[in-house]
Chain A
Amino acid sequence: MSLLEVSGVNKTFHGRHEPAISDVSFSLEAGGVLGLVGESGSGKSTTARCVAGLTRPEGGSVMLDGREVVGARRATMTTLRRDMQMVFQDPFSSLNPRMTVLDLVGEGMIVHGIERRPAARRDLVVEVLEKVGLDSSHLTRYPRSFSGGQRQRIAIARALAVSPRLLICDEPVSSLDVSVQAQVLNLLRDLREELGLAILFIAHDLAVVRYLCDSVAVMSRGRVVESGKRDAIFDSPQHPYTRSLLAAVPVPDPAVQRARQAEARRLLDEQRRAS
Chain B
Amino acid sequence: MSAGNDVLLAVRDLRVSFGTGDAATEVVHGVDVTVARGQRLALVGESGSGKSVTARAVLQLDTDATLTGSVRLDGEELVGAAPRILRSVRGRRVGLVFQDPLTALNPVMRIGWQIMQPLLIRGVSKREARMRGIALLERLGVQNAPERFDDYPHQFSGGMRQRVVIAIAVIAEPDLLIADEPTTALDVQVQAQVLALLDEIADERGMGVLLITHDLGIVAGFAEHVTVMRHGAIIETQDVDSLFASPREAYTRGLLGAVPRIDGDSSVRLLSVDEIAVAPAGAAGAAAASAVAAASALADSDQGNPA
A99 within 8 A of B: no
Interface residues of A in 162-199 (CB under 8 A from B): 177-183, 185-186
Q: Chain B residue with minimal CB distance to A252?
A: B216
Complex CA–CA separation, A255 to B239 (angstroms): 13
A2 at the interface (CB under 8 A from B): no
* CB of A78 within 8 Å of the partner chain: no
In angstroms, Cα B285 to Cα A249, docked, is 33
The size of the chain B interface, using a CB distance under 8 A, is 42
A251, B47: Cα distance in complex, Å = 21
Contact string, B256-276, partner A, CB cutoff 8 A, digits 1/0? 111111111010011111100
Contacting pair A178 B262 (CB below 8 A): no
Q: A119: which B residues are within 8 A, CB to CB?
A: none
Docked CA distance A76–B95 (Å):
58
**1/0 contact string of A2-35 vs chain B (CB within 8 Å):** 0000000000000000000000000000000000
- The answer to whether A248 touches B272 (Cβ under 8 A) is no
Question: Could you say which residues of chain B place their CB within 8 Å of the CB of A256?
Answer: 220, 263
The yes or no answer to B102 lying at the interface (CB within 8 A) is no
One of B23-31, B32-40, B67-75, B186-194 contacting the partner: B186-194
The yes or no answer to B164 lying at the interface (CB within 8 A) is no
Contact of B244 among A186, A205, A254 (CB under 8 A): A254
* Interface residue A232 (Cβ < 8 Å from any Cβ of B): no
Question: For residue A133, which residues in chain B have a CB less than 8 angstroms away from its CB?
Answer: 285
A175 → B minimal CB distance (Å): 10
Q: Which of the residues A150, A244, A258 comes within 8 Å of B189, measured between beta carbons?
A: A244
Q: A179-B274, A186-B269 are in contact. Are A252 and B187 (CB under 8 A)?
A: no
The chain A residue sitting closest to B251, CB to CB, is A179
**A-B CB pair tally, cutoff 8 Å:** 125
- From residue B126, how far is it (CB to closest CB) to chain A in Å? 33
* A234 vs B266: C-alpha distance when bound (angstroms): 12
Known: A147-B292, A248-B188, A248-B191. A186 touches B272 (CB 8 A): yes
Contact pattern, A 105-132, Cβ under 8 Å of B = 1, otherwise 0:
0000000000000000000000000000
CB-defined contacts of B295 to chain A, threshold 8 Å? 147
In the complex, the answer to whether A177 meets B244 with C-beta atoms within 8 Å is no
Q: Which A residue's beta carbon lies closest to that of B291?
A: A147
Q: Report the nearest A residue to B189, measured CB to CB.
A: A248
Chain B residue contacts of A77, Cβ below 8 A? none
CB distance from A46 to the nearest CB of B (A): 17
> Which residues in A have their C-beta under 8 angstroms from that of B220?
250-254, 256-258
**A252 with B188: CB separation less than 8 A:** no
Query: Is B255 interfacial (CB 8 A cutoff)?
Result: yes
A252 touches B46 (CB 8 A): no
B260 touches A207 (CB 8 A): yes
Residues of B at the A interface (CB closer than 8 Å) are 46-47, 187-189, 191-192, 196, 214-221, 240-241, 244, 254-264, 266, 269-274, 285, 288, 292, 295-296
